[in-house]
Amino acid sequence: MEMEINVDRVSHIIEHNELDKVICRALELRPAELAKYICGLANGTGGYIFLGIEKQNGRMEKVGFQRTFNIAGVIETARTKISGEISMCYGFVPVEGIDVFAIEVTQSEEKIFLEEKFYVYENNDVQEMIVNQKNGPTTLFISYTECDTPIVDIIENKIKERLKNKVKISRYIELRYKDSFKAFMNTIQEHDFVMTIVSDTYLKRRACMYEVGEIIKDHHYKDRLLFIVLSEKERKYYGESAPEKIGSDIYKGAEERLEYVDFWKKSYESLEKKMREINDFEAVSNTSNDLKIIGQIFRKDMGEFLDFLIDENGKNFEKLYANDL
């Protein structure tokens, strides 16, 4: 028996082309594929799967879904493949004389897995992510520089508001007196996801770039790394504490990106020169480790990190904030 679905709500979404948290497919009767979509939406903020709808050029196009298909049976088979409690409803919805089959998936309070794999919704599809299969909330480490705290406060509050107890967030304010800052940064590897808040200052801070180095040590870091790239449009959120420059300009071109590599190369050369001037092994022995870290930043980490940001096309904070993240 079909479960009830809000016909008016589904019709409104389709007629007004509201694509957020929606997966559109002309035809999909494979239980494993539907199970992926269900998991991806449940692991986020919930959403809809529309069968009989195609997404073309940023718009929903109705192609129809035949009522003779045993879609309810396919859904129940998909449900058996999923580990975790799923809440959803589904049914046929006529939209302007064309039948569409809609599945509404509710946000889950726990991690939902499909055959030990974890999926999240992303742009009309789902993506497999590497996470720890454990009880409790997903852990998120936010990597940022102190001057961008006003932005991070907004992001953290929005995440907690939308995902409630599903995500446990770590950031520097949790450090206690005499805690090891380096040891805390090394715990980045223990988090399910890392979100970097990329600004001009972030790309020039040694602690931030050390964090980046720790992140990309993981061969699967691209599955775990989230990021937001700031611009000068965010200045209004800073108040009087805004830095001289906020935006990193990394999307303007290769020359702008190489400026950050050059910044760290000059830092390396300056420190190396000072160590040679002192010319005392015991006096500079501790500084040698700093030199090694800076060398790693400008020779490898900075380039790899910037390439990742360019390839993945960073999320714009202003746009995310306008859409309630």
User: pLDDT tens digit string along 136-145?
Assistant: 778 888 989 9
Q: Name the token pair of 206.
A: 């040694």
Rounded CA-CA distance 111/134 in Å is 8
Rounded CA-CA distance 90/295 in Å is 56
Q: Name the token pair of 85.
A: 């409690």
Q: State the pairing for strand pair 59-62/88-95.
A: unpaired
Q: Which residue is it, tokens 């050369």?
A: 269
Instruction: Kindly report, residue by residue over 71-95, the tens digit of the pLDDT.
Output: 989 999 999 999 888 899 999 999 9
Mean pLDDT (the chain) is 85
Rounded CA-CA distance 138/145 in Å is 23
User: What's the average model confidence in pLDDT over 282-303?
Assistant: 88
Q: Name the token pair of 153.
A: 């406060």
pLDDT score for 175 = 47
Q: Is the confidence at residue 151, as pLDDT, over 60? A: yes
Residues in the chain: 325
pLDDT score for 2 = 43
Give the percent of the chain with pLDDT over 90: 43
Q: Are 249 and 263 in contact (CB under 8 A)?
A: no
* pLDDT category of residue 321 using cuts at 50, 70 and 90: low
Rounded CA-CA distance 140/168 in Å is 6
* pLDDT category of residue 282 using cuts at 50, 70 and 90: confident
pLDDT score for 168 = 86
Q: Is the dihedral of CA 77, 78, 82, 87 positive or negative?
A: negative
Q: Name the token pair of 268.
A: 């390396």
Q: Is the confidence at residue 105, as pLDDT, over 90? A: yes
Q: Are 24 and 50 in contact (CB under 8 A)?
A: yes
Instruction: Kindly report, residue by residue over 170-188, the tens digit of the pLDDT.
Output: 886 554 544 455 565 566 6
Pick from 16, 104, 95: nearest CA to 62: 95
Q: Are 58 and 102 in contact (CB under 8 A)?
A: no
pLDDT score for 319 = 61
Q: Are 246 and 231 in contact (CB under 8 A)?
A: yes
Which carries the bigger pLDDT value, residue 85 or residue 204? 204
Cβ-in-10-Å burial (0-12, 13-18, 19+) of 177 comes to exposed
- The pairs formed by 92-96 with CB atoms below 8 angstroms and a separation of 24 or more are 92/2, 92/65, 92/67, 93/5, 93/7, 93/10, 93/11, 95/10, 95/11, 95/14, 95/15, 95/62, 96/15, 96/62
Which carries the bigger pLDDT value, residue 221 or residue 203? 203
Q: How far apart are the first and last CA of the chain?
A: 36
pLDDT score for 177 = 43
User: What's the average model confidence in pLDDT over 307-325?
Assistant: 68
Q: Looking at mean pLDDT, say which of 119-133, 138-152, 160-174, 181-195 comes out highest.
A: 138-152
Q: Is the confidence at residue 310, as pLDDT, over 50? A: yes
pLDDT score for 178 = 46
Q: Is the dihedral of CA 156, 157, 163, 164 positive or negative?
A: positive
Instruction: Kindly report, residue by residue over 3-29, the tens digit of the pLDDT.
Output: 588 999 999 999 999 888 999 999 999
210: number of Cβ within 10 Å: 21
Instruction: Kindly report, residue by residue over 215-270, the tens digit of the pLDDT.
Output: 887 767 777 788 899 999 999 999 888 899 999 889 888 899 999 999 999 999 99
Q: Is the confidence at residue 324, as pLDDT, over 80? A: no
